[in-house]
Chain A
Amino acid sequence: MSTRLATGGTRIDRSQRLGFTWDGQPLQGFAGDTLASALLANNQVLVGRSFKYHRPRGVVAAGPEEPNALVGLGTGGSFEPNARATTTALADGMLVASQNAWPGLAHDVGVVNGWLSRFLRAGFYYKTFLWPRAFWKRLYEPAIRRAAGLGRAPDRADADRYEYLYLHADVLVAGGGIAGLAAAREAAQAGLRVLLIEQEACWGGRAATDGVTVDGKPAADWVAGTVAELQAMETVTLRLRTTVTGVHDHGFVTALEAADAGPRQRLWRIRARHIVAATGAIERPLPFAQNDRPGVMLAGAVRDYAVHYAVSPGDRTVVVTNNDDAYRTAIALREAGLTVPAILDARLRVEGALPERARAMGIPIKPGHAVAGSVGRGRVEGVAVCVQAGEGAVLETIPCEAVAMSGGWSPTVHLWSQAGGKLRWDAAQLLFRPDPARPPIGADGAAIVTAAGAANGVLPAGDCLEDGVAAGRAAAKALGAKPQTGKAATAAAPEEAPIEAVWCMPQGAPPALRDKIWLDFQNDVTMSDVALAAREGYESVEHAKRYTTLGMATDQGKLSNIGGLAVLAEARGATIPEIGTTTFRPPFTPVTLGAIGGEARGALFKPTRKTAMDGWHDANGAVWEPVADWRRPFCYRKPGETVDQAVAREVRNTRRNLGILDASTLGKILVTGPDAGRFVDTLYTNRMSTLKPGRCRYGLMCNENGFLFDDGVVARIDDHSFLCHTTSGGSDHVHAWMEEWLQTEWWDWQVYTANLTEQFAQIAVVGPQARAVLEALGGIDLSADALPFMGWTEGTLAGIPARVFRISFSGELSFEIAVPAAHGQALWDRLMAAGAAHAIAPYGTEALHIMRAEKGFIMIGDETDGTVTPQDLGLDWAVSKKKDDFLGKRAQARADLTRPDRWRLVGLQTLDPRTRLPDGAHAVDGTVLPTGIRRTIGRVTSTYMSPTLDRSIALGLVERGPERIGEVIRFADGRGHIEARIVDPVFYDPQGERQNG
Chain B
Amino acid sequence: MTRYSAFAIVREALRGNAGWPRALPDAAPRQRYRVIVVGAGGHGLATAYYLARNHGIADVAVLEKGWLGGGNTGRNTTIIRSNYLRDPSAAVYEKSRSLYETLSQEINFNVMFSPRGVLMLAQTHHEARAFQRTARANALQGIKTEYVAPFRAQELCPILNVRGPRYPVLGGLWQPRGGTARHDAVAWGYARACAAMGVDIVQNCAVTGIRRAGGKVVGVDTAKGPIDCDKLCIVVAGHSGQLAEMAGFRLPVESVALQALVSEPVKPLMDIVVMANTVHGYLSQSDKGEMVIGGGADGFNNFTQRGSFHHIEETVRALCETFPVISRLKMLRQWGGVVDMTGDRSPIISKTPVEGVFINCGWGTGGFKAIPGSGWATAEMVANGAPGHLAGPFGLDRFREGRMIDESVAAAVAH
Contact = CB atoms under 8 A, between A and B. Distances in A.
Which 3 pairs between the two chains have the least Cβ-Cβ distance?
A920-B133, A149-B289, A537-B24
Interface string A891-934: 10011110000000000000000000011111010000111111
B132 A592 contact: no
Interface string A742-773: 00000000000000000000000000000000
Contact of B9 (A128, A151, A594, A866): A128
Interface stretch (A104-112, A118-126, A368-376, A641-649): A118-126
Chain A interface mostly? loop
Interface in B20-35: 20-26
Contacts of A155: 325
A952 to B, nearest CB: 16
Given A127-B109, A157-B324, A730-B413, 14 more contacts: A130-B5, A149-B268, A150-B265, A157-B325, A590-B331, A592-B330, A593-B328, A605-B166, A605-B318, A896-B403, A919-B132, A920-B130, A920-B134, A929-B389
B30 to A, nearest CB: 19
Interface size class of B (residues with CB under 8 A): 35 or more
A611 B53 CA distance: 62
Nearest to A142: B268
Contacts of A133: 101-102, 104-105
Interface of B: 4-6, 8-10, 13, 16-18, 20-26, 66-70, 74, 87, 90-91, 101-102, 104-105, 108-110, 112-116, 123-126, 129-130, 132-137, 139-142, 159, 165-167, 182, 184-185, 188-189, 203, 263-269, 279, 285, 287-289, 304, 306-309, 312-313, 316-321, 324-335, 343-344, 389-390, 398, 400-404, 406, 408-409, 411-415
B71 to A, nearest CB: 11
A733 B4 contact: no
A729 interface: yes
B110 A128 contact: yes
Contact of A124 (B9, B113, B401): B9
A680 B132 CA distance: 36
Most buried by A among B21, B23, B398, B408: B23
18 contacts: A126-B185, A157-B325, A536-B23, A547-B188, A554-B332, A587-B331, A590-B330, A590-B332, A593-B330, A602-B321, A605-B321, A627-B415, A727-B415, A730-B413, A867-B404, A895-B403, A920-B135, A920-B136
A532 B21 CA distance: 10
Interface centre among A145, A608, A924 (most CB of B within 10 A): A145
Interface in A595-654: 596-598, 600-603, 605-606, 608, 625-628, 634
B213 to A, nearest CB: 32
B132 A628 contact: no
Contact of B412 (A542, A592, A866): A866
Interface residues of A, number: 125
Given A145-B287, A535-B22, A862-B129, A933 B91 contact: yes
A252 B309 contact: yes
Nearest to B389: A930
Contacts of B165: 602-603
Contacts of A974: 139
Interface stretch (A79-87, A281-289, A316-324, A388-396): A79-87
Contacts of B188: 126, 538, 547
Contact of B327 (A157, A603, A891): A157
Given A705-B404, A895-B401, A920-B129, A130 B4 contact: yes
A168 interface: no
Contacts of B313: 596-598
B267 A146 contact: yes
Given A81-B266, A586-B334, A729-B415, A543 B24 contact: yes
Contacts of A597: 313, 316-317, 320-321, 327
Given A136-B104, A148-B287, A593-B263, A532 B320 contact: no
Contact of A153 (B123, B142, B266): B266
A821 interface: no
Contact of B110 (A129, A608, A628): A129
Contacts of A894: 400-402
A974 B324 CA distance: 36
A538 B23 contact: yes
A121 to B, nearest CB: 5
A535 B334 contact: no
A891 B167 CA distance: 37
Nearest to B409: A865
Given A540-B203, A594-B320, A127 B415 contact: no
A549 to B, nearest CB: 8
A590 B129 contact: no
Interface in A524-540: 528, 532, 535-540
B320 A601 contact: yes
A939 interface: yes
B141 A933 contact: yes
B166 A594 contact: no
A864 interface: yes
A705 to B, nearest CB: 6
A537 B184 contact: no
A861 interface: yes
Nearest to B402: A894
A919 B140 CA distance: 15
Interface string A945-986: 000000000000000000000000000101000000000000
B328 A158 contact: yes
Nearest to B90: A933
Given A82-B330, A866-B412, A152 B8 contact: no
A628 B266 contact: no
Given A254-B309, A546-B184, A860-B415, A536 B289 contact: no
B115 A137 contact: yes
B321 A601 contact: yes
Nearest to A972: B140
A89 to B, nearest CB: 17
Nearest to A864: B412
B328 A918 contact: no
A845 B415 contact: yes
Contacts of A605: 166, 279, 317-318, 321
B114 A130 contact: no
A542 B142 CA distance: 40
B40 to A, nearest CB: 12
Given A126-B4, A542-B67, A705-B343, A145 B335 contact: no
A129 B182 CA distance: 14
